[in-house]
Homo-oligomer: A and B are copies of this chain.
Amino acid sequence: MSHVTHLECSKCGKHYNSEEVHQLCECGGPLLVRYDLEQVKKNFHKEDLKGREPSLWRYRELLPLKDKNNQVSLGEGMTPIIKMDVAGPAIGLKNLYLKDEGVIPSGTFKSRGAAVGVSRAKELGIKTLAMPTNGNAGAAWATYCARAGIKCVIVMPQDAPEITRNECAITGADLYLVDGLISDAGKIVGRAVQKYGWFDASTLKEPYRIEGKKTMGLEIAEQFNWEVPDVILYPTGGGVGIIGIYKALQELRSIGWIGEKMPRLVAVQAEGCAPIVKAWNGRKTESEFWQNAYTCAFGINVPKALGDFLVLEAIYKTDGCAVAVSDEEILKAQAVLAAKEGAFVCPEGASLYSAARKLREQGWLKEDETVLLLNTGSGLKYPETVKVEVPLLQPDDDIPEV
């Protein structure tokens, strides 16, 4: 079923056997999954998709799973794309779209990486895995591990969204909080996997999560009828989503499903944690550790991403850019999208709307361009971002006139 040929280091190019368990390359670079795209081109056609289930597994020829029996699925993928006919024109964009990754099991795009990553972990016989997380990834991996029967150890900052603790706890993961950032959680996990021989499922330290995230790019192309949008904005923490989308579009180009045109990819970060933006402003190819990182958009509170060089490459190669927005702008944008479009997005997703407004003001985005905001999760997971004061009535009270 799979057309995988090997794993390839994204830094030094070294090849690894995809049927063995690998983490990083010996040079420290993340490994990417490579396919025999000539074979895929021969055996996989757009029309094949027509009768298939609306989940990310519809693209199985471009996914690494060999045996369908190892598929660990909760029906994830084919999230909706909605047009924003009010919020778009309000910032001078006639064709503004939102892909809503809130409409997926566990409520965030993290389920994609978890579905494919856990399926492949099951296929390779992994019994226990561990990972640091800003909350949502850990919740997703805990969920899919429960379904797969794999033991899961999660370490997250104590400030991570509280509901993600519930998800880890109820699905039976071993959960630890850390008085620190995701980078501190990462070090704790690093020591533990050394000590106990667990599989390290940290961002980009295993090759399959990115294959799950990649399906966002495949879906975008299919949902836009194989004409990619002009611009895609993406909230960038670890950056696996933007790397995955770029990889997906390259693969689709190789098999001839889309033309040469690539969307300009935009990494959006918070002003309180903007290492990629800083690197891009300085035309660097890697980022530096961001001191005292803080933002309400917790998923993008990542001071230094292992895949920063891949994110920057995707931006440079597509003539994209990187933009930072303030937490105040983020919360304002969240309210605008909810009230004008009925889209209750997470703060990470809301940051994209502020960024789009800025880029339009600067003329970097044109009025007629097709612009896609990739909302990574549901606002339901962030109750603290909404201020609510509600009048309490007694049963005999009346509603005052509006």
Contacts and interface: CB of A to CB of B under 8 A. Distances in A.
A393 interface: yes
A287 interface: no
B105 A102 contact: yes
A27 interface: no
A107 interface: yes
B402 A153 contact: yes
One complex includes copies of this chain to the number of: 2
B338 A172 contact: yes
A397 B158 CA distance: 14
B342 A146 contact: yes
Interface string A193-223: 0011000000000000000000000000000
Interface in A327-386: 334-335, 338-344, 378-381, 383, 386
A205 B130 CA distance: 51
A344 B402 contact: no
Q: What size tier do the contact residues of chain A reach?
A: 35 or more
A165 interface: yes
Nearest to A114: B342
A287 B191 CA distance: 61
Interface in A169-188: 169-172, 174-180, 184, 187-188
Interface string A52-81: 001100000000000000001111101111
Interface of A: 50-51, 54-55, 72-76, 78-82, 86, 100, 102-107, 128, 130, 143-149, 151, 153, 155, 158, 162-163, 165-167, 169-172, 174-180, 184, 187-189, 191-192, 195-196, 334-335, 338-344, 378-381, 383, 386-388, 390-395, 397-399, 401-402
14 contacts: A54-B54, A74-B343, A75-B100, A103-B105, A107-B378, A143-B342, A153-B399, A165-B390, A167-B380, A169-B388, A170-B338, A171-B344, A172-B338, A177-B392
Q: For the complex of A and B, list the 8 residue pairs with the smallest distance between their C-beta atoms, beginning with the closest.
A: A75-B80, A147-B342, A54-B54, A166-B386, A184-B395, A170-B338, A172-B339, A146-B342
